[in-house]
Amino acid sequence: MDSNTRDDLLDLFRSKFNRAMKYYLETCTRCGVCTEACHVYASTGQTKYIAAYRHEIIRRLYKKYFKARGKIWPSVGEAKILDDVAIEELYDAAYSCTGCRRCMLYCPFGIDTQMLMSIAKLILIGASAEPEILTMLADTSVEKGKSLDLFKDGFMMGVKRLEAQIVEKWQVEAGQTAIPVDVEGADLLYVALAGAHSIIPAAAVFNAAGENWTLSFFEAVNFGAFVGDPTKTKLILDRIINEATRLNVKEVCVCECGTAFRVMKQLSGKQPFKVSSITDVHARYIREGRIKLDKSKFTQTVTYHDPCQIARNGGVIDEARYILQHLTDHYTEMSPDPRYNWCCGGGGGLVALGDETLDFRMKSSRVKVDQVQATGAKILTTACENCHTQLDNLNEHYKMGLEVRFLSSMVAEALVNGKHPGA
Amino acid sequence: MQSVYYFIMVPMVYIAFAVFFVGISVKIVKILREPKQPMTLQIFPEKQPKWLWALHDTLLFPTIRRHKPVLWVFIMAFHICLLLLLIGHLELMADFAVFQIIPHEIFIGNGFVGLTLVVCLLYLIFRRFQSPVKDLSVPEDYYLLILLFLIVLFGSEMDWARRWYGYEELAVEDYNAYLLSLLAFKPELPYNTTFSGHSFMLVLHIFFANLLLIFFPFTQLMHSILALPMNKLRRG
């Protein structure tokens, strides 16, 4: 690595500095309390996956280049040169961390590993060593935001096809559009993912609840956040913020996507609209009596996997349980304390990387499999696309014999009002 | 030899305190000049009032208690004893009525606070020789623990000699005179501090303490100051 490249990468490192980051870079005492926190360590027993070890990979570079010590006495903190080997190490640390932040519950100081890993991810982008596919996907999303008109027609055709499927199964009031799009003054903008499973059940519930809603042109997922590119994260987020502002909606409801929800809820700053997850909204409909659910639909034991970005990091915990109380009499908790729920092992862009990470994802999530199996549940439900894919993969790989479901689709299936009799 | 003693006990003490205070201030100012973290980093569910819970996390180490209870006992004892010894040093300089709520001779604990600290430090050092803490540790972590161990050992020996073995030559009055002279910037070394049989312990105690103060702002010891704002971030 030549010195110009290194300087550029160190500039990227510096660009991540803020007060919190400085605290995290200066403080770790390497006490080892975080040892058992990471599901990857708990499943594989490899030291390099302990949170503090991951931190230290970043911190050693910090000590080398941003502390006087790195020049005077580098060995005292094992300060390390940023070279190609370091880049590989950064990759290994960043793309084995799902950003679940479970380790924050172990650290006496609450050091945020995801924050520190964001430095690694940004350096990887600078060194063109990030997973290319994530950057490509992020670029596609950004492009879509710039040239909405180009794909609008195709999008509308897709929506029409989905509407037909909705009308087949659920009642739609006369004069009501099954999937309203681009409705100015709607109360709620629903940001879905590309895929019928993210739109159809949600639409059925919105319609049953009599919601004045509209579907976003854009998919919720933020590949910019996965790859750790702050500029692209913002551009992808802004597409939705601009749409919500243009349509003057009161609320933006993010579909079952952990990253999208956390980015929208916590990264978008103060907005003139409220940000909710679809789990929030469904719980509210039940509470207000706007939808009613048939408890007899699900007679097998159901357990719920709290998506890290929605529960521990997003605060939507009780709402899911409220829904489940109204959905089934056979609910069983997965973890005595939802904060400590094991990550599914698919976050941080790992699931988006598909087969490339499959082997690692399966090996690194043994503790999740054990946790699910201990519940004895037959239906495993969750409220995040990534978690769902990963849990599905685990189910298959470990032959768990489960039915993996989206919580929203279970709600739609159990709808009493808004459903064709006998459907 | 006396000039080495003098250097350690007077100029080096001033240098050490200067580095300690200036170093910490510069470090804090540098951190505060960074932009604020734009998004919340809190963990849910939240508990109110957040600042009180952050204080609770900072002072009582609940995450260690939950996940490593044995370590928690030692860490808690270590920090409490450290605080008691700091109070003891203040009492060497002046009488504080507030500390005498529990009437005691200086230092509080009749030598057992230092002993506890020695045991805790040995535990903390030896646990770093074991995996996985060994694999996480860097030399700094060992140096600091060894330094602390030496400071506490030599400091406590003076206390033990006085309290347990009736060694009265180096007395509280000597320490008091020495410390107050330093504080008044008119340094003087009472005869016993440099010429009594145990003065080498005092000199070594001060020497290692000076090193610790000098290292403080540049090492993980800064956790003592940064722990509270960090815990506040986690609480939201």
Q: What is the pLDDT of residues A156-214, one digit of tens each?
A: 999 999 999 999 888 887 778 999 999 999 999 999 998 899 999 999 999 999 999 99
pLDDT at A268: 87
pLDDT at A423: 53
* φ, ψ of residue A403 in degrees (nearest 5): -105, 120
pLDDT at B58: 98
A280 touches chain B (CB under 8 A): no
A14 touches chain B (CB under 8 A): no
pLDDT at A39: 98
Q: Given a cut of 60, is residue B160 above it in pLDDT?
A: yes
pLDDT at A421: 59
Judged by DSSP in three states, B182 sits in: helix
Q: Given a cut of 80, is residue A417 above it in pLDDT?
A: no
Q: In this complex, do B136 and A21 lie within 8 Å of one another by their Cβ atoms? A: no
Superfamily of domain B2-235: Transmembrane di-heme cytochromes, Chain C (1.20.950.20)
Pairs from B181-190 (Cβ < 8 Å, separation ≥ 24)? B182/B10, B182/B13, B182/B14, B183/B93, B187/B9, B187/B10, B189/B5, B189/B6, B189/B9, B189/B10
Percent of chain A with pLDDT over 90: 91
With beta carbons under 8 A apart, name residues in chain A contacting B75.
Answer: 31
Give the nearest chain A residue to B60 (CA atoms): A108
Q: Given a cut of 60, is residue A399 above it in pLDDT?
A: yes
Q: Looking at residues A23-42, what average pLDDT do you find? A: 97
- As a whole number of angstroms, the distance between CA A155 and CA A26 comes to 49
Question: Where do the DSSP E strands lie in A138-226?
Answer: 188-191, 213-215
Q: Looking at residues B73-96, what average pLDDT do you find? A: 96
The single-letter code of the amino acid at A220 is A
- As a whole number of angstroms, the distance between CA A277 and CA A290 comes to 17
Q: Looking at residues A274-290, what average pLDDT do you find? A: 97
Give the list of residues 6+ apart from residue A133 with CB closer than 8 angstroms, or none: A352, A353, A354, A356
pLDDT at A148: 86
Distance from A327 to chain B by nearest Cα, in Å?
A: 23
Q: Which residue ranges form the domains of chain A, and what is each CATH number?
A: 3-130 (1.10.1060), 134-287 (3.40.50), 295-413 (3.40.50)
Tokens of B215: 């290292």
- As a whole number of angstroms, the distance between CA A48 and CA A51 comes to 8
Tokens of B85: 């010894």
| Residue A271 zone, left/alpha/beta (φ > 0; ψ -120 to 50; rest) | beta
CA dihedral B73, B76, B79, B84 (to 10 degrees): -90
- As a whole number of angstroms, the distance between CA A165 and CA A184 comes to 25
Q: Looking at residues B18-34, what average pLDDT do you find? A: 98
- As a whole number of angstroms, the distance between CA A104 and CA B40 comes to 14
pLDDT at A420: 65
The mean predicted confidence, pLDDT, of chain A is: 95
| CA distances from residue A373 to A304, A377, A387, B152, B178 in whole angstroms, order as listed | 12, 7, 16, 51, 68
Is the distance from CB of B41 to CB of B233 less than 8 angstroms? yes
The domain locations on chain B are 2-235
With beta carbons under 8 A apart, name residues in chain B contacting A27.
Answer: 220, 222-223, 226-227, 230
Q: Given a cut of 70, is residue A422 above it in pLDDT?
A: no
User: Could you report the per-residue pLDDT of B169-225, keeping only the tens digit for each?
Assistant: 899 999 999 999 999 999 999 999 999 988 999 999 999 999 999 999 999 999 999
Give the list of residues 6+ apart from residue A168 with CB closer than 8 angstroms, or none: none
User: Could you report the per-residue pLDDT of A89-139, keeping only the tens digit for each?
Assistant: 999 999 999 999 999 999 999 999 999 999 999 999 999 999 999 999 999
Judged by DSSP in three states, A213 sits in: strand
Judged by DSSP in three states, A315 sits in: coil
Is the distance from CB of A20 to CB of A93 less than 8 angstroms? no
A23 touches chain B (CB under 8 A): yes
B45 touches chain A (CB under 8 A): yes
Judged by DSSP in three states, A406 sits in: strand
DSSP code of residue A35: G
Burial class (CB in 10 A: 0-12, 13-18, 19+), A297: middle
* φ, ψ of residue A281 in degrees (nearest 5): -65, -45
Q: In this complex, do B229 and A23 lie within 8 Å of one another by their Cβ atoms? A: yes
- As a whole number of angstroms, the distance between CA A209 and CA A193 comes to 21
| CA distances from residue A265 to A78, A231, A241 in whole angstroms, order as listed | 38, 17, 11
Pairing of strands A274-277, A251-254: parallel
pLDDT at B179: 96
For A22, the closest of B31, B75, B131 (CB atoms) is B31
For B63, the closest of A30, A106, A315 (CB atoms) is A106
- What is the pTM assigned to this prediction? 0.95
Bridge-partner residues for A254, per DSSP? A191, A277
In chain B, which among 52-111 make CB contacts under 8 A with chain A?
57, 61, 63-64, 67-68, 71, 75
A193 touches chain B (CB under 8 A): no
Give A51-103 as a DSSP string: HHHHHHHHHHHHHHHHSTHHHH-GGGGT----SHHHHHHHHHHHTT-----GG
pLDDT at B20: 98
- As a whole number of angstroms, the distance between CA B147 and CA B157 comes to 15
Q: Looking at residues A69-86, what average pLDDT do you find? A: 95
Edge-to-edge strand list for the sheet holding A403-406: A331-332, A302-305, A379-382, A403-406
Tokens of B156: 């406590």
Give the nearest chain B residue to A113 (CA atoms): B41
Give the list of residues 6+ apart from residue A300 with CB closer than 8 angstroms, or none: A330, A377, A378, A379, A403
Q: Is the ipTM of this complex over 0.90?
A: yes
Distance from A297 to chain B by nearest Cα, in Å?
A: 30
Q: In this complex, do B43 and A77 lie within 8 Å of one another by their Cβ atoms? A: no
With beta carbons under 8 A apart, name residues in chain B contacting A23.
Answer: 31, 226, 229-230, 233
| Residue A85 zone, left/alpha/beta (φ > 0; ψ -120 to 50; rest) | alpha
